[in-house]
A and B are shown apart, each in its own frame.
Chain A
Amino acid sequence: MSLTTPAAENCQEVSARNRELIEEVLKAYPEKTVKKRSKHLGVFEEGKPDCGVKSNIKSLPGVMTIRGCAYAGSKGVVWGPIKDMIHISHGPVGCGQYSWASRRNYYIGTTGVDTFVTMQFTTDFQERDIVFGGDKKLAKALDELQELFPLNKGITIQSECPIGLIGDDIEAVAKAKTKEFEGKTIVPVRCEGFRGVSQSLGHHIANDSIRDWVLDKTAGKEPEWVSTPYDVAIIGDYNIGGDAWSSRILLEEMGLRVVAQWSGDGTIKELERTPKVKLNILHCYRSMNYISRHMEEKFGIPWVEYNFFGPTKIEESLRKIASHFDDRIKEGAERVIAKYRPMADAVIAKFRPRLAGKKVMLFVGGLRPRHVIGAYEDLGMEVIGTGYEFGHNDDYQRTTHYVKDGTLIYDDVTGYEFEKFVEKLEPDLVGSGIKEKYVFQKMGVPFRQMHSWDYSGPYHGYDGFAIFARDMDMAINSPIWGLTKAPWKKG
């Protein structure tokens, strides 16, 4: 793909060097830990069904994992962006505080009146709540929310660690209050942070709670709206910096009707409508494959994965989505591709010469460790290492379509490993999160946050690709990297 990648370094050499590097890095661990960590580090071999690493296993105590917890997966990812519901961080104050408005789930609404995403609601557990239980406090909290926020369309109860440990019955509270509030959707979510090995289980738990407390509730009821053959739902786009919007606009332009957005800028009504759509189109497979599979089984709705990073993958995805519909939509997809191609070509023409041949290392969450590779390649860049915070084996299977032979793979990378890998492989850019950002910038390595887009974005869709290209250029070609070493320290 890349125009200027030196051919001298062949795959075998790269593989051998990466394997050596893994061996070297593992030396720092105690013996017991070496065995465990070594299963998570590997080199991709062309033709293999996955990336050859173990995944979705408990992180080792005492290593600096980048992972979060089930609460983060449910409240921070799946439920949090549903904008017209109130999401209570049920338990002590901290979890709600740290996850307050930090994920950039853009939405339109009057905050505190009919929308609530950037607010922090907590039952703020005190010692007495731990000792005597928090169910009464929760019930009272629901009453107070009902009174102070009459336009809320529902409430979710996001359990923090102590709730499960002290045995509170949040389901009973939710049921009683649903009845009292005449059918209002009140969803208890058992996403205590100690459950599972990462945020991943939180996604699953949240999906199950949508199934049990939202979809099942409305299933079988007569639809109060008229569906069309072109109804689809965007699943697994959290609208970071407006990503779902720059995606939705393409789907609408090709003639589809987007009935629901899950869950960025989403509403409870959109969730309820989804079982009637013709196709679920799934962006973040990791976080929402569960509910997509459920809708397939229960309502017969097919689902299709798509990737809206970079023109190559966008074109592929638009055609893949269109293949589920008639010629009208297929023509629509071609029309959209043709419309945006000149702009995308202009973006590539402008930025590719500045970026071609640059090497990238990634470490992100659900889908980006693979999905963004195409966008980098569109700009002539090469991803030489990648890995997932909380991927499962099916993610690593899907990654084989994206990575080249010899690519370094690191699952649930530890702070120590990531630093060593970057030190040795000397990429031109690292794409990861806020906890990693400043480590690499101190080392003089350009960095972009690939969870929050460094507060820029959107990166999805054609409109997003222009921003992505600009941002990678500004990171890599910033004059500051020439100033890292003092002139008197340069050799």
Chain B
Amino acid sequence: METNGETKSQNAEHVLDHFHLFRQPQYLEMFERKKREFEDAACSDEVERIREWTKTKEYRDKNFAREAITINPAKACQPLGAIFAAVGFEGTLPFVHGSQGCVAYFRSHFSRHFKEPSGCVSSSMTEDAAVFGGLNNMIDGLANSYALYKPKMIAVSTTCMAEVIGDDLNAFIKNAREKGSVPQDFDVPFAHTPSFVGSHITGYDNMMKGILEYFWDGKAKTVPPLVREPNGTINLIVGFDGNVVGNIREIRRILDLMGVDYLIVSDNSDVWDTPADGTFRMYDGGTKLSEISDALHSKATISMQSFCTPKTLPYIGTKGQETVGLHYPIGVAATDRFLQEISRLSGKPIPEPLERERGRLVDAIADSSPHIHGKRFAVYADPDVALGITGFLLELGAEPAHVLATNADAAWEGKVRELLSSSPFGAGCQVYPGKDLWHLRSLLFTEPVDFVIGNTYAKYLERDTGTPLIRLGFPIFDRHHHHRYPVWGYQGGLNVLVWILDKIFDEMDHNTNVPAKSDYSFDIIR
């Protein structure tokens, strides 16, 4: 592309796209003219003065005094999480009751992250439904989606519109069933997922609990509740997770190696990773509907992300199962705990191949941690993910300085503080529940760090503050295929280690590559 640097205008042989076209002199002149003559822009001194001011402690304090406006939040709304949980079940069509624009957004959001189709329908409520309620939309909607998309199950959640007007899903679905929209015995679990409560992880929890309740407690009073007959299976609930494709496959590999009987409740690793072989699969893989019922009988349930399951896990507990809550196990100690819990619950030993994997991760950390030791990091993500990453950073000898989650509360803050206090490397780290990325921007100016770990939106932080970004979390729109790599387990830890190191080495090279000035440190061996 650099060969285009000399080209002054567009040509067929070396097509200039936006990267180079708009740097050509004719465009630069045009931009300058537009700004000078028509924009009435603030003068550049004034822009510079304000820009510098936004870096100050004074600005930081004003920024943190905000009560009403949220700027660049790191969270989405409930229905997104409900869909995430729903598509993890075999042949399941997510159906969002409310206005249709939401579904267009959810589908786009997932497609941009996973680079995959994302099927979901809406009941397309408009003004008339706002006045009279959305019952007719539910009746027609279920009939249409059942006929067209031939699902094995339709999982219904709501939008803020349906919640504000108070539509009752249980009654509506019952009504639709009686009108013949779907067969009497067709499964339509549901969850109320108001967008003005919690975030996408709340929606995940509500839908997961909604589906389990529906199957276990008598399918909305249409059949008798199931009676638990305990067996030795271990359920796993993965939670809302940007790396779900890689992670689920990795834990399947680990559990198969251990010879454990397990069941992943909501397995969306296949539906968001379908092959390009000439066939479009709207549904692929997923937890079988019969397995949802079976899950009641399991010995125990492990949630890989407790903050994604604050209602689901206790509900499962009430059925007599043992429950274990983890926080997105990244790294050695967190994986150790995961495997030990599996081993304890299943009675199976941790096999030698996994022990060797563990040793290899420890070996890799030993090789590389000198490059990470003492480096300061800012981390933001969903609550469990932030905990997982922070734990691993402490293990690497890094010093987390800011840990932030927009969709977290005081309980999360307590958990993070507890984790930080377990290591001398955690001293001095601040924890920010409920804060957004504009808060983090201030922090990166007033209390700078060496690296920031976050999702795609952190590229604005990287640009504005110069803090190099390591991409982890959801959504990641501007890098491809990260979701196919696991971050859980020892192998996953290795991936995260490599991503962190790659950025550190890139920075090192970038900072030392000036000939005759800094290139004495431009080493070929690191």
How many residues of chain B have a CB within 8 Å of chain A?
110
Instruction: Report yes or no: B126 in contact with A30, Cβ–Cβ below 8 A.
Output: no
Q: Which residues of B contact A349 (CB under 8 A)?
A: 12
Residue B6 interfacial (CB < 8 Å):
no
Decide: A63 near B160, CB < 8 A? Known: A127-B196, A438-B115, A466-B12.
Answer: no
CA distance A349 to B11 in the complex (A): 12
Instruction: Enumerate chain B residues within 8 angstroms of A242, measured Cβ to Cβ.
Output: 18, 21-22
A267 within 8 A of B: yes
Instruction: Give Cα A469–Cα B66 distance, bound, in whole angstroms.
Output: 49
Q: Are A151 and B47 in contact (CB under 8 A)?
A: yes
Which chain B residues lie closer than 8 Å to A220 at the CB level?
Answer: none
Interface stretch (choices B76-84, B326-334, B364-372, B507-515): B76-84
> Is A15 part of the contact surface with B, judged by Cβ < 8 Å?
no
Which residue of B95, B145, B146 has the most chain A CB atoms within 10 A of its CB atom?
Answer: B145
A439 proximity list for chain B (CB < 8 A): 117, 280
Is B484 on the interface with A (CB-CB < 8 A)? Answer: no
**Which of A59, A140, A160 is close to B68, meaning CB atoms less than 8 Å apart?**
A140
B495 within 8 A of A: no
- Our pick among A65, A84, A151, A165 for the contact of B100 (Cβ within 8 Å) is A65
How far, in Å, is B130 (CB) from chain A's closest CB? Answer: 5
The complex places the Cα of A358 from the Cα of B105 at a distance, in Å, of 32
Instruction: Write out the residue numbers on chain A whose beta carbons fall within 8 Å of the beta carbon of B276.
Output: 441-442, 444, 480, 484
The closest CB in chain B to the CB of A91 belongs to B160
Q: CB of A487 within 8 A of chain B?
A: no
Q: Which residues of chain A are within 8 angstroms of B116 by Cβ–Cβ distance?
A: 438
A110 at the interface (CB under 8 A from B): yes
- Is there contact, CB below 8 Å, between A61 and B123? yes
Q: Which of B112, B161, B280 contacts A161 (CB 8 A)?
A: B161
- Chain B, residue nearest A108 (CB): B31
How far does the Cβ of A269 sit from chain B's closest Cβ, in whole Å?
Answer: 4
Tell me whether B279 is interfacial, beta carbon within 8 Å: yes
Is A217 part of the contact surface with B, judged by Cβ < 8 Å? no
| B15 smallest CB distance to A (angstroms) | 5
List CB contacts (< 8 Å) of A244-272 with chain B.
Answer: 245-246, 248-249, 252, 258-261, 265, 267, 269-270
Complex-state Cα separation, A162 to B166, whole angstroms: 12
Contact of B196 among A71, A100, A129 (CB under 8 A): A129
Q: Which residue of B lies closest to A266 (CB)?
A: B39
A193 and B50 form a contact (CB under 8 A): no
Q: Is B109 an interface residue (CB 8 A)?
A: yes
Would A148 and B62 be within 8 Å (CB), given that A93-B70, A123-B68 are in contact? yes
Question: Are A416 and B124 neighbours in the complex by a CB distance under 8 Å?
Answer: no
Q: Is the CB of A434 within 8 A of B111?
A: yes
Chain A CB within 8 A of B72 CB? yes
Q: State A227–B196 Cα separation when bound (angstroms).
A: 48
**Chain B minimum-CB-distance residue to A435:** B107
> Smallest CB-CB separation from A480: which chain B residue?
B276
The residue among B62, B104, B126, B199 with the most chain A CB atoms within 10 A of its own CB is B104
Q: Which residues 1-29 in B have Cβ within 8 Å of A in the complex?
A: 9-13, 15-18, 21-22, 26-27
Enumerate chain A residues within 8 angstroms of B80, measured Cβ to Cβ: 94
Decide if B118 is an interface residue (CB 8 Å cutoff). yes
A69-B101, A165-B164, A442-B117 known; A62+B76 contact, CB < 8 A? no
Contact of A61 among B78, B115, B144, B194 (CB under 8 A): B144
A137 part of interface (Cβ distance < 8 Å): yes
Q: A111-B460, A119-B71, A458-B21 are in contact. Are A194 and B38 (CB under 8 A)?
A: no
Q: How far is the CA of A120 from the CA of B109 in the complex (A)?
A: 15
How far, in angstroms, from A434 to B104 measured CA to CA in the complex? Answer: 10
A315 on interface, CB distance cutoff 8 Å? no
Instruction: Name the A residues within 8 Å of B12 (CB-CB).
Output: 343, 346-347, 349-351, 466, 469
Whether A160 pairs with B160 at a CB distance below 8 angstroms is: yes
Q: Flag the segment in B135-143, B301-309, B382-390 that touches A.
A: B135-143
Q: B147 an interface residue at 8 Å Cβ cutoff?
A: yes
In the complex, whether B525 has a CB less than 8 A from a CB of chain A is no
Contact of B160 among A92, A346, A470, A480 (CB under 8 A): A92
CB of B67 within 8 Å of the partner chain: yes
Of the candidate stretches A42-50, A195-203, A403-411, the one touching chain B is A195-203
B108 within 8 A of A: yes
A62:B121 contact, CB within 8 angstroms: yes
Let me know if B522 is at the binding interface, CB within 8 A.
no
Report the nearest A residue to B97, measured CB to CB. A61
Asked if A130 and B148 make an inter-chain contact with CB atoms under 8 angstroms apart, the answer reads no
Is A93 in contact with B195, judged by CB distance below 8 angstroms? yes
Contact B108 A102 (CB under 8 A): yes
Q: Considering the chains assembled together, what is the distance between the CA atoms of A312 and B104 in angstroms?
A: 34
Which chain B residues numbered 160 to 187 have a C-beta less than 8 Å away from chain A? 160-161, 164-165
From B147, B196, B277, A92 is in contact (CB under 8 Å) with B196
Q: How far is the CA of A434 from the CA of B118 in the complex (A)?
A: 10
What CA separation (Å) do A195 and B127 show in the bound complex? 6
Q: Are A249 and B26 in contact (CB under 8 A)?
A: yes
Residues in A with CB closer than 8 Å to B143 are 30, 32-33, 62
Least CB distance from B203 to A in Å reads 10
A66 sits at the interface (CB 8 A): yes
Residue in contact with B164 in the complex, picked from A162, A245, A489, CB distance below 8 Å: A162
Closest residue of A by beta carbon distance from B442: A148
A6 within 8 Å of B by Cβ? no
A356–chain B nearest beta-carbon distance, Å: 16
Interface assignment of B269: CB less than 8 Å from any CB of chain A: no
A97 beta carbon closer than 8 Å to chain B:
yes
| Interface contact B145-A63, CB-CB below 8 Å | yes
- Is B321 interfacial (CB-CB < 8 Å)? no
Does residue B457 face the partner (Cβ distance < 8 Å to A)?
yes
How far apart are A179's CB and chain B's nearest CB, in angstroms? 19
Residue in B closest to A153 when the chains form the complex, CB atoms:
B40
Complex interface bits, B34-75 against A, C-beta within 8 A gives 1, otherwise 0: 110011111000110011001000010011001111111101
Give B179 Cβ to nearest chain A Cβ, in Å: 11
A457 to chain B, nearest CB (A): 6
Scoring B77, B136, B142 by chain A CB atoms within 10 A of each residue's CB, the highest score goes to: B77
Cα distance A196–B67 when bound, in Å?
Answer: 33
What distance in Å separates the Cβ of B426 from its nearest Cβ neighbour in chain A?
30
Taken together as a complex, chains A and B put the C-alpha atoms of A210 and B50 apart, in Å, by 28
**In whole angstroms, how far apart are the Cα atoms of A127 and B77 in the complex?**
13
Cα distance, A28 to B146, chains bound together (Å): 10
A95 touches B105 (CB 8 A): yes
Known: A61-B140, A98-B76, A415-B149. 6 other contacts (CB 8 A): A64-B121, A242-B18, A350-B12, A437-B111, A467-B16, A486-B277
User: Can you spell out 30 A-B residue pairs with CB atoms less than 8 angstroms apart?
Assistant: A29-B148, A32-B140, A33-B144, A62-B121, A62-B142, A69-B99, A72-B101, A91-B160, A94-B102, A97-B73, A112-B438, A113-B51, A114-B50, A119-B71, A119-B72, A120-B73, A122-B73, A144-B67, A151-B50, A161-B161, A162-B164, A165-B164, A265-B34, A267-B38, A440-B280, A442-B280, A442-B281, A467-B17, A467-B21, A485-B278
Interface residues of A (CB under 8 A from B): 28-30, 32-33, 58-72, 84, 88, 91-95, 97-100, 102, 106, 108-114, 118-127, 129-130, 137-138, 140-141, 143-145, 147-148, 150-151, 153, 160-162, 164-166, 193-197, 199, 241-242, 245-246, 248-249, 252, 258-261, 265, 267, 269-270, 273, 343, 346-347, 349-351, 414-416, 419, 433-435, 437-444, 456-458, 462-463, 466-467, 469-470, 480, 484-486, 489
